[in-house]
Amino acid sequence: MKQTAAPPGLATPLQFLKGVGPRRAQQLERKGLSTVEDALFFLPLRHEDRTQLTPFRRLQPGQAATCAGTIVGVSPPPPGRSRAPFSALLRDASGYVTASWFHAGYLARVFKRDQKLVLHGRVARYKGALVLQQPDWEIVESGEDDRLHTGRLVPVYSTTEGLPQRALRSLMWRVVDAFAREVPEVLPEAVRARRRLAPLAQALRDAHFPDADEALGTARRRLAFDDFLLLQLGLAILRSRTTRARGIAMSPRGDFVRQLRAALPYALTGAQERVWVEIRRDMAAPHPMHRLLQGDVGSGKTVVAALAVLTAVEAGYQAAVMAPTEILAEQHFMTFRQLLAPLGVDVSLLTSSLAPRERAARRAALAAGELPVVVGTHALVQEGVAFRRLGLAVVDEQHRFGVQQRARLREKGEHPDLLVMTATPIPRTLALTLYGDLDVSVLDELPPGRRPVVTVTRTEPKRRAIYKFLRDQITEGRQVYVVYPLVEESEALDLKAASDMARRLAEDVFPDLTVGLLHGRLGFPEKDAIMRRFKAGEIHVLASTTVIEVGIDVPNASVMLVEHAERFGVSQLHQLRGRVGRGPWKSFCILLTSGRLGEEAQRRIDAMVSTSDGFKIAEADLELRGPGEFFGTRQSGLPEFRTADLLRDAAILEEARQEAQAIVAADPELRDPAHRALRTVLLARWRGKLALASAG
């Protein structure tokens, strides 16, 4: 995260500062702080308003408060009861309060009578009295700089063992005071003026030691803007390179496409038609397509992708279809084979589960251009598989297909067209973040006749009733899924749990019906056989581990029973639910839980029951998991944010995106001297992934 070519002062090792010895320097290093610049960008976790100390008498249960008082007495946990809390009785001018901490026996050596403390924490009522629970605390020593630790908005930093909050804050004060002004401005003046952003140096000062709430807000806005701008600039540069690059223009007569359409038992939806026009236009253009196809589960992305694949093949090129997992690749293989084989277009599968001999033969055939369509995992681009004339790559489940893989794909031959399909609709802010380098097509319409899946939660006592319900559905001609989560660390144990369940279903519950078991350990021929039998209606109950999460398409299936539903993420549940409701029948999703749910699990289940709208689900998921996890920053290969928060700062993201696009439109490789500082910081943030310098 270092900026290069910064003024020498910023590169000063913290150890060279007065009062920072080798031991302190080591502690700072543990927080990733080695230079002055690191420290400047090490922003506080939060600020405490110590101008507004709450008198003890006014503390309210349930609220978080900052207050100050003098220690009147301490009571460590009694001997032998180390799990009891350590507590201290405190007094201020208005009255008394108890503060308590768990696992804090060491405080007996720290706290002394008559010491003054500043505390910040949540207030609770315990046995009739008010208690500050696990508050952050600081000892206020007399004679210290009062402007720093009290009587102001006080920054609170993340610390580490042996590095007290006060010492860190004092150091930060000195660093900010002496060096903030040296941080060079990176934004072009016009942008700063237009967006009314504080100068960077001032923003940094205020982000640490603001005079007032407004100053803090202004500072945060500026720093979040920079985070977003650097991200969006990088994406805009990648995108402008694609649109300027020479690609393959593919506009065959369209015989294959016509034949497939004629063979489909349905007409395309309006949304599918519209999206197909967009894709066909991109493919015909002499620049590489770089398009995201976004649509909720069941919106019919596969057939659209098949039209694109056929277009590439008819134009004389090869097409690759890639999925994140083997089972999904296998599923796609089956679907594409079913759609394309009748037209005489050969589809082959290339995954690591093939025998080495077989694999080598297919790779050779692919390199010789003998295989028009290959389906595999993302490893198809990663492992250096060679194509003779790769014209189109379709990538499903982009979450795990990051910027870098996209770049690697571009390197493969003649800038093939890229179509990325997402199964989960992504909130707009996230889409802009993750796919700022792609054009977006949206399937915002489900095929006609779809009915929302009735979703309910049940607990263990209802198990027999649930089984009866499954049986009734099967008697009516339907089929059902029973899904078991990954519960243990070990795949072998998971498999055992799932097989035990399948055996119980087969032997005890549905002895007269056919129960199949699908799991990740099976080889492709076995999985293929089970899926074919399920599709053909020969298997009534398909028990499965989460391998069926995505992609499986059996319209006759009408019930999805999820065991231990509380262990699944919300998007995962939505995907699972998307496996039913694909035919004209009323469909059901039953979320079976232990009944004793944590708050977050409860919210996930509630979200599922209350809506079937993928966008709302995705938004709930983003809120529950936080952006980092939701889109797996590391996997995406995107630079991380220092300040910005995708949820809170969405409006700033939009502004930053507009500026990034304007900048790149005028100066695609940032060669203008006015953009020099920006370019330097950009390269550092993207850590080599932009290769700006070499492009010049």
Q: Would you tell me which residues interact with ligand ADP (CB under 6 A)?
A: 266, 268-269, 272, 295, 297-303, 423, 447, 553, 555, 582
Note whether 679 and 237 are within 8 A (CB): no
Nearer to Mg ion, 551 or 639 (CB): 551
User: CB of residue 595 vs Mg ion: minimum separation in angstroms?
Assistant: 33
Instruction: Kindly report the number of other CB atoms within 10 A of residue 591's CB atom.
Output: 24
Tokens for 169, please give them.
């804050």
Nearer to Mg ion, 227 or 296 (CB): 296
User: CB of residue 423 vs ligand ADP: minimum separation in angstroms?
Assistant: 6
Tokens for 172, please give them.
């930060």
Nearer to ligand ADP, 447 or 668 (CB): 447
d(CA 329, CA 626): 29
Note whether 591 and 569 are within 8 A (CB): no
Nearer to ligand ADP, 155 or 295 (CB): 295
Tokens for 196, please give them.
């009314």
User: CB of residue 578 vs Mg ion: minimum separation in angstroms?
Assistant: 8
Nearer to ligand ADP, 239 or 301 (CB): 301
Nearer to ligand ADP, 198 or 375 (CB): 375
Element (H, E) at 125: strand 116-126
Name the CA radius of gyration of the chain, rounded.
30
3-state SS, one letter per residue, for 309-322: HHHHHHCCCEEEEE
Nearer to Mg ion, 374 or 552 (CB): 552
Q: Residue 17 burial by CB count (10 A; 0-12/13-18/19+): exposed, middle or buried?
A: middle
User: CB of residue 245 vs ligand ADP: minimum separation in angstroms?
Assistant: 29
User: CB of residue 97 vs Mg ion: minimum separation in angstroms?
Assistant: 58
The residues facing 418 across adjacent strands are 290, 393
Which residues contact residue 170 at a Cβ distance below 8 angstroms, ignoring those fewer than 6 apart? 145, 148
DSSP string, 237-285: HHHHHHHHS---------HHHHHHHHHSSSPPPHHHHHHHHHHHHHHHS
Q: Which of 580, 611, 305, 267 is nearest to 447 (CA)?
A: 267
User: CB of residue 289 vs ligand ADP: minimum separation in angstroms?
Assistant: 19
User: CB of residue 301 vs Mg ion: minimum separation in angstroms?
Assistant: 5
User: CB of residue 363 vs Mg ion: minimum separation in angstroms?
Assistant: 26
Nearer to ligand ADP, 121 or 298 (CB): 298
Tokens for 676, please give them.
């020099």
Nearer to ligand ADP, 205 or 332 (CB): 332
Count Cβ neighbours within 10 Å for each residue of 124-161 and write b for 16 or more, e otherwise. beeeeebbbbbbebbbbeeeeeeebbbebbbbbbebee
Tokens for 349, please give them.
């599968």
User: CB of residue 476 vs ligand ADP: minimum separation in angstroms?
Assistant: 20
Which residues contact residue 536 at a Cβ distance below 8 angstroms, ignoring those fewer than 6 apart? none
From the list Mg ion, ligand ADP, none, partner contacted by residue 369 (C-beta under 5 to 8 A by kind): none
Angstrom distances, CA of residue 676 to CA of 5, 204, 222, 333, 639: 11, 21, 19, 49, 19
From the list Mg ion, ligand ADP, none, partner contacted by residue 222 (C-beta under 5 to 8 A by kind): none
What are the residues binding Mg ion (CB under 5 A)? Answer: 551
Nearer to ligand ADP, 574 or 685 (CB): 574
Nearer to Mg ion, 153 or 552 (CB): 552
Antiparallel, parallel or unpaired: β 86-92 and 64-75: antiparallel
Nearer to ligand ADP, 206 or 330 (CB): 330
User: CB of residue 578 vs ligand ADP: minimum separation in angstroms?
Assistant: 6
User: CB of residue 523 vs ligand ADP: minimum separation in angstroms?
Assistant: 24
> In angstroms, how far is the first alpha carbon of the chain from the final one?
23
By three-state DSSP, how is residue 111 classified? coil
Instruction: Kindly report the number of other CB atoms within 10 A of residue 332's CB atom.
Output: 23
User: CB of residue 302 vs Mg ion: minimum separation in angstroms?
Assistant: 5
